[in-house]
Each structure stands twice: as C-alpha cells, then as structure tokens.
Structure 1
Amino acid sequence: MNLVLLSTLLATAVGAEPSVQIKDGLIQGFTSNKVEHFFGIPYADPPVGDLRLRQPRPLSKPLGTFDATSSPRLCTQKIMASDLPIIDTWPESISGSLRAYNSTSNNQGEDCLTVNIQRPIETKSDSKLPVIFWIFGGAFEQGSTNSSDWSTLVTKSIEQGGVIIVAVNYRLNTFGFLGGEELQAEGATNLGLRDQRLGLEWVHDNIAAFGGDADKVTIWGQSAGSISTYYHLLINNGDNRSNRTGKPLFRAAIMDSGTSFDAEPVNGTTAQAQYDHIVSAVGCASSYSTLDCLRAAPWQKIYDATNTLPHLVSQDGFSIDYVPRPDLSSPFFTSAKLTPSQNVVDVPVIVAHQEDEATIFLQPTSSVNTTAKLINMVHKQFPSTPTSIFETLISYYTNNTSYGAPFRTNATQDVMYPHSKINSAVVSDIAFIFQARSFLDTIAGPQPSVNWSSPVYALQGSYFYGTPIVGSFHGSDLALLAGGTTGMRMGMRMEEGETLRKEGTIDGIG
C-alpha cells in the first residue's frame, strides 16, 4: 500500500473515525470503502540503540492515544536486484514487477515493529470474527505490511460473516536474520521469526478488543512469509501456545509459495562469513566486541554494508543471502525441516505454489547460459548438497524449448537466452515445489513419517499462465488475493475465456 493508495483511502473515509481501547492505549483508525483501518500499531519496543540485534521486547510503555491512520515505517530494506539490461526488452507492464524489487523508500528504519489491522465496518468488540495473521514475503530481505491492501478481501468476507486481517512487520536482512557465533552466544538469532512470534502473542492478547476471536487465528504467508508460516509449525518443538494463557496462538496455516528452505546452521561457515563481512564493511573488525560495535554504528552504515552483499537477482544468478538458520543452542528454532523425531503443530493446512515460480527471478539471469553454470549457481545457494546431486538431478531436465518454465508456451516464445527455460524450471522445483511436496509427503503421503490428523489441502496456481515471459510467476497470485504489490497488477492476464472459480470455505481455515 503506497502513499497514493493511502491518500485515496483517507480521502474516501466516511463517518466517525473508529477507535479501539486496548490495555496499552486508545487506537484511532479510519474508515474507507466499508473497511476500518488501523495502521502501524506497535507490538514491541523499538529495536534501536542497545536493543538492536537483540530479541524483541514486549511494549514497556503505554501508547496513550495512538493515531493509526498513517502509513507505517518499513523495516530496513535491502535492494534486491542489480542492473538487468535484459528486462529493458520486456513490456513495461511485466518488467515493472521485477523493478519493484529495487524500489526504495525514505520511510524505512529500525523502529518498525508494528501491525496493520483491517476489519469490516461496524465490527464490535463482541463480534468474535475469525482472524488472518498475514506474513509478507520478500526473501527475508525486503517487504512490508504496506505491500498489499486487503480491503477487497475484507469486503468480500462480509458475505460470509466477515474476517479481520492483521499484517505484521518484522525485521529483515542484517537487522533480522544475521547469523554468526557472536549472535548465537547472546541468543539473538532468527530475530525476524521472533518478531513474528511476538506479533502473534500481541494478537492473542489484543484482537478481541478489535472484534476478533483469538481462538480462530489462521497464519498465512507468501514466499518468505510462507516459509515463516511453515517454521511456526516447528518453532519451540511444535509448541504454539501463548506464553500468557497457554492457549494456541493459531488454529490453521496457509503456505503460499514456500515451505522449508535448506540452510546451514546459524553458526556455520556461510552465516559466519556473512557476519564477518558485515562487521568489516561497517568498520567494526578491530573492535573488542564486534557485536557491540554493530549496535552502536549509525543505521546508514549497516544499511550500506547490507547492500554490498549479492543481490537476489542479477545477470549472474539467483542468490538468497538472509534466511532463518537452525540454532541448536536454543529450543526456539532447531531445524528447518520436519523430521520424524520432531513435534509439529497439527492444524489444518493449505500448501500452495505457482506453476512458474522462478521465472521472475531466472528469466533475467542471462549469464547462466550453460548446464555447468546452472549447477554452480544452485550449489552456491545450497552448499551443503554435493555438486554430484545437482548434476544427476539436472540431467533429467531437457533444454528443449518446448518445455521448461513458463510451461505453457510454444517452442519459440519466451526464450530469453540459452537455458532460460530450464533454469526457471530447475529453480522452481528446487526452491519451491520439491520442498512443498516433501512436506506434503511427510504429513499426508502414502506412508507419512509423522502423526498428522488435521485436514491437508494442496493447490497449484496457474491463473496467469498466459502472461508473456513469466507465466504464473512467484507472487502473481497476490494480484488476486490482496490487490497485488507495487508493479504487480499490470501485465498479467489469463488466457481468453478462462474464469476464476469461487471456492467455498474450508472447515477450520479462516
């Protein structure tokens, strides 16, 4: 939700401003198009100064009367795409979806741990509406609660009784997912996940005042938010109970393009090298305590250092630098993959992915134009997997241009460079589809390896398979679900005559 959208919403606001009394203060919002909006409500103390690179701390001071009508600050963003000359040949309506990853904002910083709440007009404190807890995506490097507007979905939900949507901001990149032994020693790992968990605790304690039912919370995420949602099934050895009440923080989960993401431990070689790089780039390498030095450094220095790391998308490949990493020194997050020895939160789940997930990332990587370069690229992303495994895996793919992602094209359409379609197909499978199917097989396959009693649903999104170059790419479904993200609504189309089906509600979801 950008400033133009916000100003439009404010301009169309009608009637008395809604307000909600919670234990920390009076929250004042605004109404627009049959939806009441409350933006930027703090759920934690600002993680600034000595609280930088520490676990989030619940609010320690009352809010008083809080104006929740302004677009909230974004958590610090990382520029995610380097110069990509090949996209200059694309239609602007499509290239804009990728250029959105390079968008910057002056309204970003560390004091960003807030939630946005959108609910149907005239919701009362005793309405007890179901709640969606939305976790945005962006490769754990970029994104915010401002990325999507849920007004349409909230309005549509009124026909079936209404729903409240809470979107959570959490720390990203260096500020939220930096690893290394120094952070591990202080219990300050996977901070972005810890932010989300504290946000869930805040919703559990406060959503009733907004007319929500704390016993009917569904967590839903896309991309990095989907991976986060999956991890919330595993966190604390599968214990999703509130610290205060002992009751579950959520009753269902929706994973939209992401489950497990293979990552070395938080004190492993990759994480430590990343920590050391940031320390050096900030100018803290000679400090007695490099972590204290990072906490005292100007924000701009850390921001600049963060952007010296490889970009998510470049001509040379696809690289995710910041991810949640297992930390065996704490019970909070010990494994990125569900195993038979683990406990898991057994709730109804939807596991979804798009037909052409990786095209938006791999179609521009014009330097990765041979099988050897493709193998090298995926091995760099997943270094714990032997190269021989990728060599065998990729040998099963054909570079026949009639195949590959996007899948529903003819032999000549959408071939951006040699290997573009096989690159997109391979990374779609490795990063998204294999992981989803592995999770589904673990909980609901012919021989599930964990005990799971709740309903399981799976789907593949292919609504936009007619979109040139990228097909039903990663994130394209947000155009249907939440008004899209910056640059995403343009250029996507369904094949002529195709319609969207209106699905019924799923018992236990929502």
Structure 2
Amino acid sequence: MRCNILILAATLVGLVRAATLVSIPNVTATTIVVLPAGTVVGSTSDGVEYYRGIPYAQPPTGSLRLKPPIRLENFGLVQATGVAPACPQTTAMDITPLLLDVVALPGVEQTLLFGSTLGDETEDCLTISVMRPQGTAADAQLPVLFWIYGGGFEMGSPQMYNGSVLIPQSVAQGKPIIFVAVNYRLGAFGFLGGSEVLADGASNLGLLDQRMGLEWVADNIEAFGGDPGAVTMWGESAGSISVFNQLALFDGNNTYKDRSLFRGAIMNSGSIIPTEPVNGVKAQGIFNTVIEAAGYSAKLKCLRDVDYDTFLNASNSVPTYLSYNSLAFSYAPRPDGRILTACPAVLAKTGKYAAVPMIIGNQENEGTVFALFQSNITTESALVSYLNDVFFHNATRDEIAGLVATYPNNPDSPAGIGASNDTYPEFKRLAAILGDWGFTFMSRLLLDTFPAMVPAWSYQATYGSETPVLGTYHASDLPHIYYETDDVSASIQDLYISFVDSLDPNNYAASTPSGYLTFWPTWQEKKQLLELGAHHTRLIHDDARAASFEYIRAHLETLRL
C-alpha cells in the first residue's frame, strides 16, 4: 500500500499533438509530427491529440548513470501512443496508526491517498509528452504550459496527471494551449549528494533533466503548433520547488540559443527550500548510506557499475518524505556552486533568479499530511529535539526552542483545523511549523524579493477546511485542477489558462457561476492573497503568523536542511 497524499493517484495522463495527418504502414495512430531527431506517431481522442513518451536524452544507464543528461540527436520513429515509463521510484513509507485513522475519515479522498498509476518504472525514462487541441495548425503559435510533477523528489510521473482536461477548457475559453510534461530522474538517480558527486559534476541531475526538457520545447514545439517564446512553467510541491530552481539555475540565466526558455511561472505549494550544500553533512550522510547499501564503502563509480536492482534498493535505503523524517528530504536540490550557486533563499534575496510574471500560492494546511508520522512527539521538549535532530542540524537547541515558542500550543493551530480532531498533543503545532517553513513563509519570502515592475499574484486555498484532521491539505488542489468539475476546479483552470495566454490571470471568460471569482490584484499592490474558498473567493492580507515569519526569516542561515 503506497501513500500518495502529496502526488495524488490519478488516471493516465494524455499529452498532445501532431501537425499533419498521414498514413504510416503498420501504424494505427492517426497523427504524426516530424522533428529534427525523428518522427513521432501520436493518437487522437475526444478532440485532443496525444504524444506520450518522446525521448529527449540518451538513456542515463551504464556509464551514463549519475551523469548529466546528453541530448538525443536521433531517435528514428517513435510510437508515442502508449503510456510513457516512470523514472525509478522511492516507495518505502511509514504506515502509522494515526495515518490509518486519518485515511478512514469521511471527507478524505481515499483513491488519492493510496495507489497510483505510474506506468512501468525504468532507468531509461527521460521522455517528454505533448498534448494539443485536435486540428491545431503547424503555424498556430499556441502558448505552452510546461508541467513539472511533484512527489518529494522521490516519486511521481507525468502519467498521474490528466492534463487533457485543460485542453478543451482552453479551447472553450478561446485561448487554446499546448500542454507539455517532462520526466526527470528522482531519488539517488537524480538528486544524490556528497563530496564525490560534487567533484564529478553529477549533482542536481534531475534539475538538469528538467532544463533539457525546456530546451527540447524550444527546439521542437513549433512543429506541434506551439510558440517557443510563450512557455509558462508550472509545478506542484517538489515540482513547484523545481520551478523556482529553474528560475534560479545558473544565477537566473534562462537563455538558450539567445532566447528565453520561459516567460511565466506558476508555483503550487513550493518555491524556495533552504538547503545545505551538496557536499554538506546531511547530503554526505545520505551518500554514505546509499553506497554502503549497494555493497561498497566508497567510490561513485561503484554506483554506476552495479546492476539496476541493486542501485534502486540502495536508493530506497534512506528515509522517505512519507515517514518520520517528513520534509527533511533525503534527496533534494542542493547548492553546488555551479548549477545552483548558493542556497535558494540566498539566490532569492540577492535577486539571482529570472523574475518573470508568476502565480504562487499554497493550501491553508500545507503541513498536516507531513505531521502524521510523528505521534511519539507529545511534549514541547520532544518537538524541539525532533526539529533539531532531524531537520536543522546547524541550529542550536535554543534557536529551535525560540522558533517553537512563536507558535501557540493550541488546538486551532494551524488555522482551519479544529479542536475536535483526535491527534497527538503536538500535532497541530508541528503541522503549522512544517507548513510555514516548507511552503507558506517561503512564498512570502520570495514575493518580498520580487521586482515591483514584474507582476506576481498569490493565493491561499481554503476550500477543504472541513476535512477532518487534514483541513485544506497539501496536494488537495490537484484533484480540483485535473479531475473534478466543481466551481473551484473551473475557476482555477480559468485563471491559469488566462495567465498562460496573456500573463494576466484576470483575462478569463468565467465558466463558473457569477459571483465566485473576485478580481485578483497583484501581490505587490497591498500584499494580498486571493482566498479560494469552497463557495467564494475574497482578498485577505498575507500576514498570518507574522512573529513566526520574522523569526524564520532572521534565522534562515541555520534553518536549512
């Protein structure tokens, strides 16, 4: 049983389109597109054309394992009509009694909590998928939405997200778009750290995979009728953190062949994540554990030489984000002096990122799902020890105690989670700290650094506030975006499609009943958020838990993973 509360189980993703209708011997698909590297055969269904699993890099196997991606120059003929493979997953998790109690509660979407549709897992997984409206002309120059999936940098796949729902919605709006989803390496395959990794130039490989996917779009999307100058990146959770990393890669240099790779960004539940260097104590400890589990005492080369199953099992030998360690990620993007030149919080503060128009926001109760695994933390002292030992090794105990002291130990923290839920004594305070440090406050910190002349819009979702224990929990936006058809779903889709089309979310033709959506001013105007409620939207000030925010901002040097 696999808990996917953060990456959400879903049906197979569809993915986009071709230019010309021709017949190919022994091929049943009805559409093809010819690219410089080869011919892609796709399929059509319900007004959408799909091209799933187009290889964009050489297989990262054998001597290319744990190496930066190498562009695939020639792939011949690709049958892109099936389900693209997922990259190797980190699947272990901690099934606690509290977790089992929570998933049995009414209002918690069971199908989204357990199980997933990932497709086959394989190390040869560097593919990209495209989806567009049926009949799009080759010269249509449609804007492009580039999706980066989440999953704690340990699991996930484009197949989990039904991106095809956005295509007919965009057509109905008169703003047709192309949807692209990229596969990137996870776990030790994509985010292994350590001094040997740094010396070898093998750090942050998953980010380099994503960047090569963006370059692939720049080189190929015109053949699908897309505009390479109108790309908006979009991600959720680890995918959203990845979006900021793409903004900050190479100190904000997002040019490729003298042209910007993207013009806008959408970040759902993730932005800055303060991390120690790729050769720091935490990352080195993970490397040591992985290489020992693979049967060696040292040498990165050994991990390239072992068979796939051995390396996969070794990758899974460390704690996952669905465990007691929670957001203290074993695998994550880390500063390496080249790809990420500094801690993301420092890059944001110093303006070393590509500031493009963006939408950024969070769920009201981001931390609740990450606080389900620590039910032995029943005292304030134990909470301080947990944060000091598992998360913030470089902070003193007094610094952690000072952080905890800014959070009242009451049953209404975080907001929206009532007193009637039967959880452990420190659950709500830990949930508030994790949600703030990992998500809400990081968005506010990024917005504080954003240039006044570049528009940014921010939101907070509260539509699930009645959900027992969890509230409007992390990743509860994904079913609204990809699978449900309520007012919330239609409104988010309207806002996002408008932004992809014009870089302004307010240029929508609302498909929801009148009165739901409120005009959304930029964050810079009055530091306001658009609150997405179950039955209405309204504007609220972005000033929740101000004392805790200022404390974390003042201690970012030590509050790093």
Distance in 2 between residues matched to 1:4 and 1:316, nearest whole Å: 29
Greater mean deviation of Cα atoms: 177-186 or 386-395: 386-395
Give 2:86's aligned residue. 74
Q: How many residues align?
A: 476
Question: Deviations 1:56-79 (Å, cap 9, x if unpaired)?
Answer: 00004x222210011111111001
Give 1:475's aligned residue. 475
1:268 and 2:280 aligned: yes
Give 1:320's aligned residue. 329
Distance in 2 between residues matched to 1:179 and 1:415, nearest whole Å: 39
Give 1:417's aligned residue. 424
Give 1:232's aligned residue. 246
| Secondary structure of 1:94's aligned partner | coil
Question: Deviations 1:209-236 (Å, cap 9, x if unpaired)?
Answer: 0111000000011101111111111111
Question: Deviations 1:397-441 (Å, cap 9, x if unpaired)?
Answer: 22221x123x324321x2322222222111111111111111111
Give 2:548's aligned residue. none
1:134 and 2:141 aligned: no
1:347 and 2:356 aligned: yes
Assess, with a 3 A threshold, how the Cα gap between structure 1 residues 475 and 177 changes in structure 2: closer, same or farther: same
The alpha carbon displacement at 1:387 in A equals 3.0
Distance in 2 between residues matched to 1:500 and 1:250, nearest whole Å: 25
Give 2:203's aligned residue. 189
Give 2:554's aligned residue. none
Assess, with a 3 A threshold, how the Cα gap between structure 1 residues 246 and 111 changes in structure 2: closer, same or farther: same
% identical aligned pairs: 37
Greater mean deviation of Cα atoms: 274-283 or 312-321: 312-321
Give 1:50's aligned residue. 63
Question: Deviations 1:323-352 (Å, cap 9, x if unpaired)?
Answer: 101012x25543322355443212101111
TM-score (norm 1): 0.87
Of 429, 435, 456, which aligns to 1:428? 435
| Secondary structure of 1:410's aligned partner | coil
Distance in 2 between residues matched to 1:409 and 1:225, nearest whole Å: 26
Task: Determine if contact 1:363/1:421 at 8 Å carries over to the other structure.
Answer: no
1:59 and 2:66 aligned: no
Task: Determine if contact 1:180/1:275 at 8 Å carries over to the other structure.
Answer: yes
Give 2:372's aligned residue. 363
Q: In structure 2, give the amino acid aligned to 1:433.
A: T
Task: Determine if contact 2:162/2:483 at 8 Å carries over to the other structure.
Answer: yes
Q: In structure 1, give the amino acid aligned to 2:428.
A: K
Structure 1 gaps, min length 5: 10-14, 444-450
Distance in 1 between residues matched to 2:375 and 2:47, nearest whole Å: 47
Distance in 1 between residues matched to 2:12 and 2:85, nearest whole Å: 15
Task: Determine if contact 1:28/1:66 at 8 Å carries over to the other structure.
Answer: yes
Give 2:416's aligned residue. 408
Give 1:113's aligned residue. 126
Task: Determine if contact 2:142/2:178 at 8 Å carries over to the other structure.
Answer: yes
Give 1:246's aligned residue. 258
| Secondary structure of 2:52's aligned partner | strand
Distance in 2 between residues matched to 1:27 and 1:334, nearest whole Å: 39
The alpha carbon displacement at 1:374 in A equals 2.1
| Secondary structure of 1:356's aligned partner | coil
Question: Deviations 1:119-150 (Å, cap 9, x if unpaired)?
Answer: 11111211111001100001111111111011
Within 5 A, what are the aligned runs for 1:12-27? 17-27=30-40
Distance in 2 between residues matched to 1:299 and 1:345, nearest whole Å: 37
Assess, with a 3 A threshold, how the Cα gap between structure 1 residues 69 and 178 changes in structure 2: closer, same or farther: same
Task: Determine if contact 2:9/2:113 at 8 Å carries over to the other structure.
Answer: no
Task: Determine if contact 2:128/2:182 at 8 Å carries over to the other structure.
Answer: yes
Give 2:446's aligned residue. 439
Assess, with a 3 A threshold, how the Cα gap between structure 1 residues 189 and 385 changes in structure 2: closer, same or farther: same
| Secondary structure of 1:466's aligned partner | coil
Distance in 2 between residues matched to 1:315 and 1:57, nearest whole Å: 36
Question: Deviations 1:235-290 (Å, cap 9, x if unpaired)?
Answer: 11111001xx210000011111111111110111111111111111101216xxx1
| Secondary structure of 2:344's aligned partner | coil
Task: Determine if contact 1:80/1:312 at 8 Å carries over to the other structure.
Answer: no
Assess, with a 3 A threshold, how the Cα gap between structure 1 residues 80 and 98 changes in structure 2: closer, same or farther: farther
1:259 and 2:271 aligned: yes
Give 1:84's aligned residue. 96
Assess, with a 3 A threshold, how the Cα gap between structure 1 residues 98 and 308 changes in structure 2: closer, same or farther: farther
Of 214, 218, 230, which aligns to 1:200? 214
The alpha carbon displacement at 1:91 in A equals 4.6
Task: Determine if contact 1:352/1:460 at 8 Å carries over to the other structure.
Answer: yes
The alpha carbon displacement at 1:104 in A equals 8.8
Greater mean deviation of Cα atoms: 163-172 or 416-425: 416-425
Distance in 2 between residues matched to 1:441 and 1:50, nearest whole Å: 44
The alpha carbon displacement at 1:49 in A equals 0.2
Within 5 A, what are the aligned runs for 1:326-337? 326-328=335-337, 330-337=338-345
TM-score (norm 2): 0.79
| Secondary structure of 2:241's aligned partner | helix
Assess, with a 3 A threshold, how the Cα gap between structure 1 residues 129 and 390 changes in structure 2: closer, same or farther: same
1:284 and 2:309 aligned: no
Q: In structure 1, give the amino acid aligned to 2:353.
A: V
Distance in 2 between residues matched to 1:161 and 1:318, nearest whole Å: 38
Q: In structure 1, give the amino acid aligned to 2:330.
A: D
Distance in 1 between residues matched to 2:373 and 2:335, nearest whole Å: 31
Task: Determine if contact 2:29/2:42 at 8 Å carries over to the other structure.
Answer: no
| Secondary structure of 1:457's aligned partner | strand
| Secondary structure of 2:376's aligned partner | coil
Q: In structure 2, give the amino acid aligned to 1:354.
A: Q
Q: In structure 1, give the amino acid aligned to 2:86.
A: L
Distance in 1 between residues matched to 2:30 and 2:13, nearest whole Å: 15
The alpha carbon displacement at 1:103 in A equals 5.5
Assess, with a 3 A threshold, how the Cα gap between structure 1 residues 482 and 333 changes in structure 2: closer, same or farther: farther
Distance in 2 between residues matched to 1:219 and 1:104, nearest whole Å: 23
Task: Determine if contact 1:22/1:209 at 8 Å carries over to the other structure.
Answer: yes
Greater mean deviation of Cα atoms: 115-124 or 385-394: 385-394
Distance in 1 between residues matched to 2:118 and 2:477, nearest whole Å: 24
Distance in 1 between residues matched to 2:304 and 2:125, nearest whole Å: 17
Task: Determine if contact 1:177/1:190 at 8 Å carries over to the other structure.
Answer: yes
Assess, with a 3 A threshold, how the Cα gap between structure 1 residues 40 and 362 changes in structure 2: closer, same or farther: same
Distance in 1 between residues matched to 2:386 and 2:47, nearest whole Å: 48
| Secondary structure of 2:227's aligned partner | strand
Q: In structure 2, give the amino acid aligned to 1:96.
A: Q
The alpha carbon displacement at 1:463 in A equals 1.8
Give 2:20's aligned residue. none
| Secondary structure of 2:259's aligned partner | coil
Assess, with a 3 A threshold, how the Cα gap between structure 1 residues 3 and 339 changes in structure 2: closer, same or farther: closer
| Secondary structure of 2:49's aligned partner | strand
Within 5 A, what are the aligned runs for 1:379-398? 379=388, 380-398=390-408
Distance in 2 between residues matched to 1:424 and 1:352, nearest whole Å: 18
Distance in 1 between residues matched to 2:317 and 2:339, nearest whole Å: 32
Give 1:210's aligned residue. 224
Give 1:223's aligned residue. 237
Assess, with a 3 A threshold, how the Cα gap between structure 1 residues 353 and 76 changes in structure 2: closer, same or farther: same
Distance in 2 between residues matched to 1:30 and 1:257, nearest whole Å: 33
Within 5 A, what are the aligned runs for 1:452-491? 453-483=453-483
Distance in 1 between residues matched to 2:170 and 2:127, nearest whole Å: 24
